[in-house]
Chain A
Amino acid sequence: MPFLDIDNVTKSYGNVEVLHRVDIGVEEGEFLVLVGPSGCGKSTLLNMIAGLENITGGTISIKDRVVNDVHPSKRNIAMVFQSYALYPNMTVGQNITFGMEMHGIPKPEREQKLAEVAKLLQIEQLLARKPGQLSGGQRQRVAMGRALVRDPDVFLFDEPLSNLDAKLRVDMRTEIKKLHQRLKSTIVYVTHDQIEALTLSTRIAVMNKGYVQQLGTPKEVYDTPANMFVASFMGSPSMNLLPATLREANGGLAAELTGAEGQQIMLNLSQNGPNLRSYLGKPVILGIRPEAITDADGVDRNAKNTQALRNMVHVTEPAGSDTFVETSLSGKACIARMRADVDVHAGQPFDFVVNMDKAVVFDPETEDRIVD
């Protein structure tokens, strides 16, 4: 049985079910990220693990002990909240040691732990301050410190970075990652930021409307999304989802699309399995990530299946390190990510090169990926 086992868990408020039979097992030392749009039930699930919400159905167990009816203070869990929830009336030091104090740990030991953690997080010089006197990033570290001193079985993070500005967020992300690599602790981490999800996790659970849409490693989720929701949710800019028709071509399969001027475009697919073949002649949705559409120079030299494609450019967005180019395929806006210096102009046609290695195909009805 997994270290933290969420078994068939359901949650209802009144008669509205907001979580539907969620089934996730988290192994010791794993970094599980829950990701999904606002209101999909991430916080609710986290709160149930922490014991802050009642469990309507199913069981949650930690280290083989069912904790459904265990008071939050008895679960040996540490949690970092979105708003940090630092106690404004206590100093940083008191904030960090409060939990130990509540657990009756003697003062010398508390002091020693505090010193250790403060050093680790580089907040030694802040220990006497009140939270009101800290910057966002410092608060975040204090909140983390409060969790770290506890040495809990499981760490829970509820969108701990969403209050920070972009720059700080990147820094803190790296720090959390390093921390996990060093401590090998078991972490469940909620975010709705897909970059955070992809960079931090060992596994990701993508949620939507109370359902777990996909549970897998970041690579699985990014490269083989289970359905169109996952495909469009993960990655920024998100995957281009283009209506196409499946055709036979050159002995393999190809997707037929319409260019900006109505020209027919055929893109050969790398897949050729029987499942996919059954869609021959039928409409499908072709999923291509923006970074797979570039110019001839920018294309990945290890790509096996690249194809050229000439189409009209609608908008160009130079963004320093990259230039985003918007074109349209099959009547839908399609974003391509190019190098910064690429010579591309809005209103003119351009020779795109598409890397089809990682293109995926979805059933337009069920929206699920067609597994080859």
Chain B
Amino acid sequence: EDVEVLHWWTAGGEAAALNVLKEDLASKDIGWRDMPVAGGGGEAAMTALRARVTAGDPPTAVQMLGFDILDWANQGDVLADLSEAATAENWDAVIPAAIQKFAKPNGTWIAAPVNVHSTNWVWANKAVLDELGIAQPTTWDEFIAALQKVKDSGKVALAHGGQPWQEATIFDSAVLASGGPEFYQKSMIDLDPEALNSPEMVAAFDKMEQLRGFVDDNFSGRDWNLASAMVINGEAAFQIMGDWAKGEFLRADKVPGTDFLCFRVPGTEGVVTFNSDEFVMFKQNDDAAKAAQIEMAKAAESPEFQSAFNIVKGSVPARTDVSDEGFDDCGKQAMKDLKAASEAGTLLGSMGHGHANPAAVKNAMYDVITAHFNGEYDSATAAEELLNAVEGAQ
């Protein structure tokens, strides 16, 4: 029996990591039918998925993120029930509750979480910081001062790509830095109108404005990895980006701690905004396919795969009981943070990556954030518009 897997992990490292899973399944006589659809953070893949589901021919497993999963879960009877695998492997215990919110939305396991990315990281070029005598900042103001210092030196302070999702990534941190996790929960996840148009939100937008001042003129449309490259090359000092950026540094033979630094965005320590890739399982009709699907879920959730995959991918395992052996320093740090945040209840879904609110709301927020970042609104207006947009999209 085969499993059909729709995903957008087509880059070399990711695909190699997936191969681990593929081979694991092969050893159980389960074939892997690959359906990669790259582009736009899975947008194209979601379109293709919709076509396949509408046609009544869904794939076995689909790489999916955040609220897309919930949307599908609410579409009625299209997803599979993975309870068998979950019980066997005791997923309830080892997977953080915040992630279960997506993988087990209505009390049944429908998805196998593969990894957890955290998005509130700063990546910094150590050589540049050393040269300018900048220490790792620990508060927002220190961060701003450091950025200013870099800017004064003539280098680009903050490497950034002008794409809505990248701006939203920064915005996650800005909200956290200005209001803390409760405010984040209220505004981004609960979508409380008062929180959305509040002084804290205005402050968050002010922070965005501050950051905007440290970005070079040529940022619009730039891909995130090019921004990373600027940090790697020493053209720029900092980048705020999810942990996938680490891969770029590693691939350029940079060593964490010596060549580059990774630290939480100042002002967001103790909080982890995450996004989690999961294999959502679609309901299969015949028993053999169902069995293969369960096997795949088990394999995806096995510590071996979780470890192997996430070492390559730069993220951390979705289950908290995996050994950190083999992970680099940043990875080890991330695993620790995750566990701590999960226990403290500060593991929060990233708005920028669709783990805080539904796609419609997310995109509506994108619109406002991007418009503000590009100077269309001042902060007060932006906060108002944010409320309007969210209400409009609901």
- Within 8 Å by CB, do A and B touch in the complex? no
Interface residues of B (CB under 8 A from A): none
Interface residues of A (CB under 8 A from B): none
